[in-house]
A and B are shown apart, each in its own frame.
Chain A
Amino acid sequence: MERFRVLEDDATADIAYVAYGKSLEEMYENAALGLFSLMTDIDSVESVQIDFIKVEAEDREALMLDFLNELIYRWDVDKVLFSDFSCKIKEVEDGLVMTAKCRGETFDEERHVMKVGVKAVTYFGMEVRERCGVWETKITPDV
């Protein structure tokens, strides 16, 4: 199954892609993978460090927004590029809690070619849904 697909015509100013998953968790993992694939050549990023991320949000879209924005924050401040993700999601009374294991490494100018600087993920066009056993949502980052 395709993990994500970059859309050609969807965001005049920026970039948009669709993330897929056989489970809800896998869709979030692939959304994160798609994000870092836009930014750099993901194959050049080694898994030498692990960041544990916990995100709580009121619904699936907000969870996506907060998760991806947390990753962007870590890139922007700690200069970490991630390439491997493992997400667990639990339903709680007022929403969802995600714990994510994110593997990657610190940005190295010699080895990592940066393609795009993503600065935030927006709600534009985002709608998490399940169709015939496949979860998907569109994601529109601001660059």
Chain B
Amino acid sequence: MVELNKLNENTWEIPREGGMNVPGRVYASKELLEHIKQDKTLEQIKNVAHLPGIYKYSIAMPDAHQGYGFPIGGVAALDVEDGGISPGGVGYDINCGVRLVKTPLKASEVQGNLKKLLKVLFEKIPSGVGKGSRFSLTKEQLREVLERGAEWAVDEGYGLEEDLKTVEENGRMSEADSSVISDKAMNRGKEQVGCLGAGNHFFEIERVGNIDNGKVAEEFGLEDDQVCIMIHTGSRGFGHQVCTDYLRETEKKYKNVVRKLPDKELVYAPGGSQMADRYFKAMSCAVNFAFVNRQIIMHQARKAFEEVMELNYDDLELVYGVCHNVAKKEKHRINGEKKDVYVHRKGATRALPPGHKKVPRKYRETGQPVLIPGNMGEGSYLLRGKKESMDLSFGTAPHGSGRTMSRTKAKGKFWGETVVKDLEEKKDILVKAASMPVVAEEAPGAYKNLKDVVNASQKIGVAEKVLKLDPMGVIKG
């Protein structure tokens, strides 16, 4: 049993004890905390607090659940010199993330063509286990992808210059260096660019539903009933191989470090070491790979809307794109001093406040758009970053609704065909899926209520609600 002290209605502290360098902090309502207590999340938050050079607290977001080493929904800022960077703290699907794209259409204009649209999208976007990409890249081309990210995709004709202005890091982490990537990762990457994958990844056609903040919605260019697209995928087998490669290499090189840690998956490359530098370069390659992945899927969406809805290519505009699994070198004010830290966001979204220089110019006064997708019956929320998030969570908000049951249990409880039928008949949501067992695993009933996560985020102050996006059509891998 992990000891918890209530600091306020939505903030709980795990007191520092034993080898913990800082206390743990859980941001959650009482109800969400009950979910969090069901698995090993709280123990994992305590374990993360053992990492060296960690500042303030080891954090769990309202959607936190058990991961490996770090919990999903875990945030930790480690000093770049006295701390380090943990491949497991970034996770296996490096830069798993989402993009929100807007169309100029109203829901009523799309409804009649929805089935056809999903069919064309499903043909254009390879989805599901074992479905490789339409692109087979040479090693030289893959190196360009890894080092230039979404810039490469735009140069190759898979997007517009304008797209790069509204993606985290402008779609490219400049630290990427493909010379530190293993042959195995290269081999896995070259056949996997531009495919959706499976599991919790999806492509969704949504409509703007309830608007909480009309002024901000307008600044993000969105209005009532407008049709949007949400793309959720990551770095596929490439990112997994990078994580596995560096986890093993770090583990072998720093045996003494591993011995002192409560969990092997927390192993880190010490700050300032060559290993930290190499992992950061490799991780940046995987981040760029995922940026390209989502850029190409967005390109295919534009093509599908051109074909079915007779729109122009540039009628589909990128609202914003965020990363969910990543470590960033950032400067944060800690106890009055500016510190350089690796902020690990494992299943968490960066949420920068108005005025921050990393927020795209067009949203600078509004704050960073924060995208929080939910399960396929529930849709997504658009929020914006708030000033308080810098102090509370190193500028971080939750990333989703979080599961309440394992995939095995969900498969025992739900039947894919029934889930699809119910969504269509009861909620008017069309689902096109590569695999019915995956639909069962991803059934809405296997997830927490997204509304609770979003409301808790607003109450805590890490982000502010702007609007809800309701699903119309879903593609699952």
Contacts and interface: CB of A to CB of B under 8 A. Distances in A.
Q: Does A pair with B?
A: yes
Interface of A: 6-16, 39, 58, 61-62, 65-66, 69, 73, 76-77, 79, 107, 109, 112-117, 119-120, 122-124, 140, 142-143
B241 interface: yes
A86 to B, nearest CB: 24
A77 to B, nearest CB: 5
Nearest to A114: B129
Given A15-B408, A142-B92, A143-B407, A124 B69 contact: yes
A112 B130 CA distance: 10
Interface in B401-442: 402-409, 412, 435, 437-438, 441
A142 B87 CA distance: 14
Contact of A12 (B65, B93, B251): B65
Nearest to A39: B129
A107 B264 CA distance: 34
Interface string B76-97: 0000000000000000110000
6 contacts: A8-B412, A12-B406, A13-B403, A15-B406, A120-B92, A142-B240
Contacts of A66: 248
A124 B198 CA distance: 22
A73 B438 CA distance: 21
Contacts of B237: 76, 119
Contacts of B355: none
Interface in B32-82: 38-39, 65-69, 72
Given A13-B67, A77-B188, A123-B264, A69 B406 contact: no
Contacts of A116: 129, 198-199, 407, 437-438, 441
B244 A69 contact: yes
Contacts of B407: 11, 13-15, 116, 143
A76 B198 CA distance: 13
Contact of A114 (B38, B236, B435): B435
B240 A120 contact: yes
Interface residues of B, number: 47
Given A115-B435, A116-B129, 19 more contacts: A8-B409, A8-B412, A12-B39, A12-B402, A12-B404, A12-B406, A13-B406, A16-B406, A62-B248, A73-B184, A77-B184, A107-B130, A114-B128, A117-B197, A119-B93, A120-B92, A124-B69, A142-B68, A143-B199
A119 B286 CA distance: 14
B455 interface: no
Nearest to A125: B68
B129 A117 contact: yes
A61 B264 CA distance: 11
Contacts of A140: 68
Interface centre among B184, B199, B412 (most CB of A within 10 A): B199
Contacts of A113: 435
B252 interface: yes
A143 B403 CA distance: 14
A62 to B, nearest CB: 7
A140 B188 CA distance: 21
Interface string B251-266: 1100000000001110
B266 to A, nearest CB: 10
A69 B437 CA distance: 23
Given A7-B408, A114-B129, A122 B188 contact: no
